[in-house]
Structure 1
Amino acid sequence: MTSAYRPVFFAAVAFLSGAIVGWSAELNWLIAAVASCAFFVAAIALLLAADRTGMVKWLLAAAVFLAGCASMQYTASKADWNVEGEYALTGRVTEVSRNSKNTVVRLSEIKIEQESLNNDVFITFYDEKIPETDDYISIPKAKLSLPKKRAYRFAFDDRQYCAANNVLYRATCEGFVVTGHAHDVFAAARGARATIGKRLDELYGSRSSIVKALILGDTESVTDVENDGFIASGISHVLALSGLHIGIIIFGLFYFLKRIKAPYYLTIVLTLTALLAYLMLTGMKISAVRAGVLCVCVLLSQCAAWKYDSMTGLAIAFFAVVLPNPAVIFDLGFQFSFSAVFGIICVSPDGNANLYDEKMPTAKDKFLGAIRASAAVTVCTLPYVANVNNYFWMPSLLLNLAVIPFVSAALPVLLVLSALYLIFPGVFLWAGAVGGWIVDVLRFFAGGSDWLPEFGVELPSTYPLAALIVLAGVWLVSKTNVFYSRKWMRAAAGGFCAAAAIICFVLPSQWRGDVQIVFLNGGDKCSAVVSTAAGGCAVIDAGADIYGYAVKNSVVPQKTVITKGDTDHAAGLDALVSGGRAGSIYTGEDGAYALAAKYSGEKITALSEGDTVAVDENTCIEIKYVSGKSGMVARLVHKGRGLCLFMTDAALYDEGLIGGDISAEILVAGRNGKDGSTGRGLTDRVGQDYTVIQSARGGSAQVLDRLGSGFVYNTGENGQITFTADGDRIEAEAMYETW
């Protein structure tokens, strides 16, 4: 099951590297697949012709790398299939997720106009009438749409999220008809989980949400307040069904059977059967499947008298989860689960396991092992914490030292009490009080961020490469690395990776040019961020998710200019103000009074035609025109040079009333590029090199015709658009190029 150099582990590394490259590469997936087969055949031929194992290993590594590349490129090609529109849909409901705004239903076994679809569909319902899990439904008219790409750098990417869940489309519908109900083993498992959940509700009352998360992996009933508390305290992992839960349950059964001297192979068979049943009961979640595969590897190694290797077992679990759907590497649960276990394996003093070893670790070894494991998990998951929460609470490392041992001791108690109540409900009603005390202690730990010192640090989002570099660094300095035998070599390799990881965190915030203008993709909602090398930062309109962009990219605006009070220009202002990132707020006279009443205590300044708002000593925003109906027309100027003209909702009539110099290198089309704006007279006066249309649909044909052959960017198609001005040059960079 293992060798000195862990071939399965390095095959997993090669496949993962290829998959990451493949997601963004432009090489055709079929070419990559053919190249992978060619490398594999060459390796076999070389192995048969001569004993050149070194060359064979490199050829096989290249073959696996290209296979990973091809798998992700094929996934990306499926995501580009475009049959958007209204279609008749039939399928089976396999998951129902409710929240305060809507209900999202996962539909599997789908037929679109009688054509089978291998992927699933997420359907959003806004009505009270919702299908039940395992219902077969027919939808006469479902509106299909492709998942959206990320709106700006480091934003949530729905395309990746859906691909990781094997979902090809999102859809909405106005009605459905239930045509039947499934009765297979999966339906039976979900029915059993629902029944057990109701019985746990009876036993634990309001505390049952935590118990169901711990035992069944059912987090749907965990309230937002409870979930936020666990996340803020850095202990949310205890609610995710993982190796801690699977290990306690399965190996607890194994040692019980061993203690009663059950036959050897009967013990293995019963334990594996219980494992499969439990995975089915909990819904086959990724973290549970990973832990389950590791358990299978341990048990089978006992049968075959192999020396179990944890890193090889983790690699086998990786392939078991990834091969059915390679895009699952984008799933956050997958990333947290595998990275955390990888870190624990790297710092464990012995990466091997023998279930029949009677030697037990001392209390000191357990304590030191817990410290090492907690530190390793923190380091290995830090890039994901940065990208998701953009905040790390330092005391969580110490809090986990108390939480993990407590959960390890309390979970078996909860399991036994719950099982006894399910079997003898009248006798074990008192179990609810004991289980309730356990939940109360967990909730006390979840409030750690309130009663422990506020000692946290804000973290900017970083590139996915940083996560791989961190994992590589942990591995290089660990005892699992068989290549470097000397400590100074490990330290040097680890130091190099640490430096590279720090660069990945710092690089996104590095400055380029004198002035940078970033347009966010908010559909028809307008937002732009102006930053200067001198440290100035201003927001012009807050229609899109401007607060999310500011947090993830470490942007702290000093000034916010709202050109019009409509939602497509000011919807994100609430988040900026509540998050302390709005700075001084400027708007037209008509909107200033409303904003002053809404945001009492904030500095609100009314602007008139001819006013200026300084961004820094060389950069300012000139107000060229003000209209209560069309908003303000603003011009960004740097060292006397017009960089960008924001037309807001100015119509053709308004354009003729704008006086003074309005020349600029970038024109932001008025009225989201709709007809009735951006006339020929305006474009002649502006003389722009670039035009930006902030719209989900793009500009009208008439507007595009008047713009001529210049560079026209549309945030709906191009995503985040960044302009960098340096001296007399200006460069444009779009997240998604369309030419």
Structure 2
Amino acid sequence: MKRPFVFFLIPFIFGILIQYNFNIINKYFFVYLILLILISILIVYFSKNGITILLLVFFIIGVFATYQEMNQSLLSFLSNKNVTIIGKIEDKISESEYGSKYILYIIKVKYKENYYLAKEKIILNIVGQKDLQIGDIIEAEGIIIKPSRNTNPGLFNYRLYLQTKNIYWNLSAKDYNIRLISENNLNLGQKVSNDFRNRVIYVFDTLLNSENSSIMKGMVLGEDSYITKNLINKFRNLGLSHILAVSGLHIGIIFAFFVYVFSFLIINKRISIIISLCIIWIYSYLIGSPISVLRACTMFTTLMLAFIAHRRYDVINGISLAALILLFLNPLMIFSISFQLSFVAVISILIFSKKIEKNFTKQSRLSKLLSPIIAVQLGILPLTIYHFNKVSLIAVLSNLLIIPIIIPISLILGFITILFSIFLSTKLLSVFGYIINILFFYMKVIMNILNKMPFSTLNFPSLSLPEIILYYLMIFILLKIIRLESFKFKIKKIIFIYLLIFILLNSVNSFYNKELVIEFLDVGQGDCALISINNEKHFIIDTGGTVLSDFDVGENIVLPYLFKRGIFSLDGVFITHFHHDHCEGVIPIIENLKINDFFIGYENKKSKIYNLIIDKLNKNNIKINIINKGDKIILDNKVYITVLHPYEKNNLSENNLSLVLLLNYFNKKILFTGDIERDIERELVKEVDYNIDILKVPHHGSNTSSSETFIKALKPEYGIIQVGRNVFGHPNEQVLKRYQNNNVKIFRTDKNGLINIKINPKTIKIYPYFKDTNLLNDIIFKSKVEIFILLIYIILSIIVLHTNRQYMENTLLNETS
């Protein structure tokens, strides 16, 4: 077998994905096991091939390794319990005016006078001001909870991100419930790592200006927490974000530098390589062993050991071995963006570079320099679109101008400065700082010029799996890795038909997808509803927000979700009232999207958030419409909104000034109520003489709203409660019982995540993102187009294999003869 680790890696990954998505090791495990054994026996019997058994073994290992990783925590029985944890601070993640966040390594847990040993890491969220240092042993009392998962499809999954780092729990604690037991409890390795980090921070903060210091700390320590969001976005827009994370590029530069130094000192080349390998592994440990660094170190080690042993080395096989080792240690790394980009980038260089270079009319140093840069950009393009919904059109140019000279010199000078700072004062090293400042000055000049170029970036909706596969297939064909001319005419004809069917299916699906879709986003304790008409017009009612933390709902939830859906402009935005949990999230939307119309029900110039929003709207020349009772807003043919409230301002509270909007579509009625309370409910009941199909439950299910009279008058079939963790007791238990007694089916964003409602002239269908059970028919419905395309692909593949079998046999016979 030419590349055994490639063949073992594929079923291993498949096993990880199957277990993670379908959880086959559960109460039905033995059923699945028997089925798997029967399939295995059939495969082995018909194939009579030992490789098949190995592939099956690695698939099973992938399944069990994932199960073990997802169930290794010993704290599950303490979920949502108030506990006391004694542990050691391992790292500081962030700090703000609201509190701080640390990684805490548990020594023991106390619950109801009993102590439990649990040697694992958790996230410690401290509410209030408490300054702790790495190595502090503390006692913390609080509630242990699971980290938040993505409750809106396609968005960042914080729980999964932490699981890739072997962290499974959060402990939320008030600052007065934290007690310091002892300080500076670090073993030798932790002390060296902490001292290295502190030295890097001190040296760069002393020798470089503030912004350059943050860049250099990111390059050396691999953490973007030192860098402002604005600066990160500048690097990302130019396709340069890999500079700010320690990757194969950085490890390659460091390794090559030390090999050169040792060779210059007339040290035997083998010894130079071994010492340099030790240095990059020590460096990996000192900065916390990020995935990209582990991948690079593993690859360099296998490559160099093969070189020393005079063995032939297959790089793709080596990459597969590195991936297999990392995934065996933590299978959930497969979901890490860093893991995906890191491996795909290297594989792209290996597969595409030479093919791209051959397409240059003249072979030169420039073509050799450009080829790997273009290869990387081509390889990671689908992943970049899927995760970030943005593509830099000048990434090749920016990488060509900055990577070859500025980054290697500044990184090497940075390391020299850190090493010499042990023996020399920072004043004597100021010349190195001066050179780095000059290099970064020119880098930022280049970046500013490139950022000002028109159409430097394009926005895209997230790609589906068939689209990603089709993209790579087209690249392989264009670069002649797959040679169509080697296929018979019949095969070409089948491929053409397949592509035509793929395009037609997507076109037909888009053409007939005529429906009204309402998506109630989970924005925590707040409201936000996205209305899409035939996937052509888009409106938002409220945008969520928060008062009690620095988490930006608009920037982190609403805006990314719109981008994922391919929505880059809005036909209208409605703000029911000016409480933060309904309107704060609109600010980044105003700054990043085109908005045709902005609708409000009143003015409140005493409100800071109102004045801020109006100022942003005016600066962006967005039309502001004040609407009142009786107004009718036409959204599209057969789709309109009737304003039921407010009718006059008087001395109403902010909640009771909420816009009440009745959405009408083919006689289907959906009522949006903001935060109205009983007084306004009574007024509405006097005028509403029709039933409501869907009710957005007023005020997050508060006991100040949803009176018995209101529910009986409207007779809603469904009720949607937008709510998150809160201290107000939302939704109220009596209110929930009231809806239940009136046969109203309730959906809640805190329980169901995003609630997707599809309405056509005949039916209303509701699809919550989370259900109590993940039924097979739900999976089939969500992926019906992909499944249909896959079935067609399989059928066509069988036809291709059948019609081409004789041709391939003749070709092989000719080659062997």
TM-score, normalised to structure 1, is: 0.86
SS of 2:117's partner is strand
Counterpart in 2 of 1:456? Answer: 457
Counterpart in 2 of 1:315? Answer: 320
SS of 2:24's partner is coil
Counterpart in 2 of 1:728? Answer: 762
Q: How far apart, in 1, do the equivalents of 2:500 and 2:343 lie?
A: 23
Counterpart in 2 of 1:231? Answer: 236
Matched to 1:540, the amino acid is I
Q: Does 1:13 align with 2:10?
A: yes
C-alpha displacement at 1:279, in angstroms?
Answer: 1.5
SS of 2:570's partner is coil
SS of 1:305's partner is coil
Q: How far apart, in 2, do the equivalents of 1:262 and 1:36 lie?
A: 57
Matched to 2:56, the amino acid is A
1:124-174 per-position Cα deviation (integer Å, ceiling 9, x unaligned): 3354432112322221x1232221222322222222222222211223322
1:602-642 per-position Cα deviation (integer Å, ceiling 9, x unaligned): 32222222222211131111122337432232211013x13
C-alpha displacement at 1:663, in angstroms?
Answer: 1.9
CA contact (8 A) 2:106 2:122 kept: no
Counterpart in 2 of 1:359? Answer: none
Matched to 2:673, the amino acid is M
Counterpart in 2 of 1:703? Answer: 735
Matched to 1:240, the amino acid is A
| Contiguous gaps of at least 5 residues in structure 2 | 356-361, 546-553, 774-817
The aligned runs of 1:198-347 (5 Å cut-off) are 198-206=202-210, 207-258=212-263, 262-263=267-268, 265-347=270-352
Q: Does 1:97 align with 2:93?
A: yes
Q: 2:697 aligns with which of 659, 665, 669?
A: 669
Counterpart in 1 of 2:711? Answer: 683
Counterpart in 2 of 1:358? Answer: none
Identify the range of structure 1 (712-721 vs 157-166) with the bigger mean alpha-carbon deviation: 157-166
CA contact (8 A) 1:43 1:60 kept: no
Counterpart in 1 of 2:529? Answer: 528
Q: How far apart, in 2, do the equivalents of 1:494 and 1:365 lie?
A: 36
Alignment CA distance shift 1:310-1:478 (3 Å): farther
Alignment CA distance shift 1:612-1:110 (3 Å): farther
CA contact (8 A) 1:233 1:448 kept: no
Alignment CA distance shift 1:573-1:453 (3 Å): closer
Counterpart in 2 of 1:714? Answer: 748
| Contiguous gaps of at least 5 residues in structure 1 | 351-362
Q: How far apart, in 2, do the equivalents of 1:500 and 1:380 lie?
A: 26
The aligned runs of 1:455-604 (5 Å cut-off) are 455-463=456-464, 488=486, 512-533=513-534, 535-543=536-544, 545=554, 546-555=558-567, 556-589=569-602, 595=610, 598=615, 599-600=617-618, 601-604=621-624
Q: Does 1:176 align with 2:179?
A: yes
CA contact (8 A) 1:16 1:68 kept: yes
Matched to 1:648, the amino acid is G
1:664-694 per-position Cα deviation (integer Å, ceiling 9, x unaligned): 2112111211234333433333333222111
CA contact (8 A) 1:131 1:178 kept: no
SS of 1:577's partner is helix
Counterpart in 1 of 2:795? Answer: none
Identify the range of structure 1 (726-735 vs 155-164) with the bigger mean alpha-carbon deviation: 155-164
Paired-residue identity, %: 20
C-alpha displacement at 1:643, in angstroms?
Answer: 2.6
Q: How far apart, in 2, do the equivalents of 1:347 and 1:125 lie?
A: 48
C-alpha displacement at 1:185, in angstroms?
Answer: 1.3
Alignment CA distance shift 1:590-1:368 (3 Å): closer
Q: 2:721 aligns with which of 673, 693, 696?
A: 693
Matched to 2:721, the amino acid is I
The aligned runs of 1:368-517 (5 Å cut-off) are 368-406=367-405, 407-416=407-416, 418-425=418-425, 427-463=428-464, 488=486, 512-517=513-518
Q: How far apart, in 1, do the equivalents of 2:644 and 2:513 lie?
A: 28
Alignment CA distance shift 1:472-1:198 (3 Å): farther
Matched to 1:689, the amino acid is E
Alignment CA distance shift 1:171-1:647 (3 Å): same
Counterpart in 2 of 1:355? Answer: none
CA contact (8 A) 2:477 2:483 kept: no
Alignment CA distance shift 1:32-1:475 (3 Å): farther
1:550-580 per-position Cα deviation (integer Å, ceiling 9, x unaligned): 2332223211222222222222222222223
Matched to 1:618, the amino acid is K
Q: Does 1:134 align with 2:162?
A: no
Q: How far apart, in 2, do the equivalents of 1:345 and 1:269 lie?
A: 25
CA contact (8 A) 1:29 1:70 kept: no
Alignment CA distance shift 1:488-1:374 (3 Å): farther
C-alpha displacement at 1:205, in angstroms?
Answer: 4.5
SS of 1:284's partner is coil
CA contact (8 A) 1:161 1:331 kept: yes
Alignment CA distance shift 1:25-1:268 (3 Å): same
Counterpart in 1 of 2:63? Answer: 69
C-alpha displacement at 1:76, in angstroms?
Answer: 4.7
SS of 1:565's partner is coil
C-alpha displacement at 1:720, in angstroms?
Answer: 0.7
Matched to 2:182, the amino acid is T
Matched to 1:166, the amino acid is N
Matched to 1:177, the amino acid is L
Counterpart in 2 of 1:147? Answer: 147
CA contact (8 A) 1:463 1:505 kept: no
CA contact (8 A) 1:513 1:725 kept: no
CA contact (8 A) 1:233 1:447 kept: no
Alignment CA distance shift 1:142-1:434 (3 Å): same
Q: How far apart, in 1, do the equivalents of 2:501 and 2:370 lie?
A: 25
Q: How far apart, in 1, do the equivalents of 2:71 and 2:157 lie?
A: 16
CA contact (8 A) 2:90 2:135 kept: yes
Alignment CA distance shift 1:138-1:266 (3 Å): same
CA contact (8 A) 1:646 1:667 kept: yes
Matched to 1:679, the amino acid is S
Alignment CA distance shift 1:717-1:35 (3 Å): closer
Q: Does 1:122 align with 2:123?
A: yes
CA contact (8 A) 2:299 2:318 kept: yes
Q: How far apart, in 1, do the equivalents of 2:412 and 2:504 lie?
A: 44
The aligned runs of 1:23-42 (5 Å cut-off) are 23-28=20-25
Q: How far apart, in 2, do the equivalents of 1:348 and 1:289 lie?
A: 24
1:440-491 per-position Cα deviation (integer Å, ceiling 9, x unaligned): 2333343344343433211112347766775677678879x7xx67765699
Identify the range of structure 1 (504-513 vs 127-136) with the bigger mean alpha-carbon deviation: 504-513
CA contact (8 A) 1:648 1:671 kept: yes
CA contact (8 A) 2:334 2:340 kept: yes
SS of 2:142's partner is strand
Matched to 1:67, the amino acid is I
Q: How far apart, in 2, do the equivalents of 1:13 and 1:470 lie?
A: 20
Alignment CA distance shift 1:431-1:149 (3 Å): closer
1:238-290 per-position Cα deviation (integer Å, ceiling 9, x unaligned): 22111111112223333544565534653443233222222122221111111
CA contact (8 A) 2:702 2:732 kept: yes
Counterpart in 2 of 1:353? Answer: none
Alignment CA distance shift 1:632-1:511 (3 Å): farther
Q: 1:650 aligns with which of 661, 676, 680?
A: 676
Q: CA RMSD in A?
A: 3.9
Alignment CA distance shift 1:39-1:489 (3 Å): farther
